[in-house]
Amino acid sequence: MAIGLASVATGALAALAICAGPATAAEPVLAIDQGRAGVHLNHDETVWLAGGPIPALVTMVIPPSSLGAGLHPDTALWRDGNGNIRASLRQVISESARHPDGTVSIFLNAPGTHNGRVIDVYQNWGD
């Protein structure tokens, strides 16, 4: 099952990197020491991703428990007492997209790393 999820996630990230909107400037990010690889999307790409089908397609095949998010300190998204995020992948991406300089970084984690999460999304925007 983990290999299947990793394959789907790899395909989703590859599609994202290839079709990352009109500007197609997705910046690859390798963090081999952390067991992950991903892309950093500029603002236009983040807006495109938030409004497109990819977040829904990803969540159709990857359970929410296998998705992680690094939320901006000023997030309006809700976290429980254990730090668990109660938001969809689209909500995490869309919150960054609503800021004029908002971006996201999306990482595919190697199997067995990062507490079993397959994908992590990090929000970025100015203060």
4-8, 80-84, 86-90: least confident range: 4-8
How far is Cα of residue 112 from the mean position of the Cα atoms in its chain?
18
Sequence ranges of the domains in the chain? 2-124
Element holding 121 (H helix, E strand): strand 119-124
pLDDT digits (tens, 9 = 90+) for 18-73: 455 555 567 889 999 999 999 999 999 999 999 999 999 999 998 888 999 999 99
Is 62:71 a contact under the CB 8 Å cutoff? no
pTM value is 0.81
- At residue 123 the predicted structure's pLDDT band, cuts being 50, 70 and 90, is very high
